[in-house]
Amino acid sequence: MAEQNEAIHVQWTPPPSDTREDVFVKILFVHLVNRAIQRRTITYAELASLIGLPPSGNHMASTLGRYLGRILEWCSNTGHPHLTSLVVKGEGSPQGGIPGKGFWALLNLQNTTTKERRLLTKTYQDAVFNYYGQV
């Protein structure tokens, strides 16, 4: 038995079937569900910082886009609302407050206007908030 002053160190190692990417996708999924329960959105930069990615740039965009794409695919395949609609561009952007182009491309809505995207974003986010608000 450990002494009271002695620190106990435990290191979690993911099962061999989980890749590093799988672990990060699960972390992001859980965080997005928590945000949905709180009825809050999150910016790409804030979400990137949770898993140690830079707040902007090509590496962040491609990596986070791939992870969020997996979550959106799961949502679509299981009939869950679009949880990744909670991830939005920062308010300093002309398209601040709405998801980025990868989100719209995955939904085959890349030709929609910013105005249409704002309306769709509200619809998707309301569905997410209502669904996860019942948890």
> What is the enclosing helix (H) or strand (E) of 131?
helix 114-132
69's CB contacts (< 8 A; 6+ apart) are: 102, 106
- Among 124, 74, 77, 131, smallest CA distance to 98 is for 124
CA angle 107, 132, 35 (to 5 degrees): 80
* CA 82 to centroid of chain Cα atoms: 10
Percent of the chain with pLDDT over 90: 75
- Mean pLDDT over residues 3-14, rounded? 48
Return the H-helix or E-strand segment holding 87: strand 87-88
- Per-domain residue ranges for the chain? 20-132
* Cβ proximity of 97 and 91 under 8 Å: yes
Rounded to two decimals, what is the model's pTM?
0.84
What is the amino acid identity at position 34?
N
Using 50, 70 and 90 to split pLDDT, how confident is the model at 16? Answer: low
Q: What integer pLDDT is reported at residue 95 of this predicted model? A: 87
pLDDT at 133: 86
Q: How confident is the model at residue 11 (pLDDT cuts 50, 70, 90)?
A: low
Task: Please tell me which residue, 2 or 45, carries the higher pLDDT value.
Answer: 45
Q: Is the pLDDT of residue 134 over 70?
A: yes
